Amino acid sequence: MGAGAAGGWWWSTRAAADPAAAATTSTQLVAASLGTVKQTVSASGTIEPANQSTATFTSSGTVTDVDVEVGESVKKGQLLAGLDDSDLEDAVTLAEASVTAAQDQVDSASTTEAL
């Protein structure tokens, strides 16, 4: 019986002297309940997308409309953005005027030959 008491005394003084040993032998009972678990995690590093592609364009210009949001999935052929086409419209107008002027010269030359 004395050996058992001595062992109990030794065990209790060892747990008090070594907090790690005490932590491994302690038990706590709590009642379970429903609720939301909230936990904040702070980390550093680099976030990389699962998929990435390079967009190439056949013309340059000023972007006037963006039709997708960052992170949004897109499909092949989907319009992503619009460009300011006023310079192109001006070029078409000038080209049409040049065609009209050239046609007028042809008509004038044809009239002159007919005389």
What is the pTM for the complete model shown?
Answer: 0.39
Do residues 64 and 82 make contact, with C-beta atoms less than 8 angstroms apart? yes
Please name the helix (run of DSSP H) or strand (run of DSSP E) that holds residue 64, with its range, or none: strand 63-66
In whole angstroms, give the CA distance from residue 8 to residue 15: 11
In whole angstroms, give the CA distance from residue 82 to residue 59: 11
Q: Which residues pair with 81 in a beta bridge?
A: 66
Length of the chain: 115
Q: Dihedral, CA atoms, 48, 54, 60, 61, nearest 10 degrees?
A: -30
Q: Report pLDDT digits (tens) over 56-113.
A: 778 888 899 999 998 888 898 898 889 898 988 999 999 999 999 999 999 888 877 6
Q: Report pLDDT digits (tens) over 15-46.
A: 555 555 555 667 888 888 888 888 888 889 99
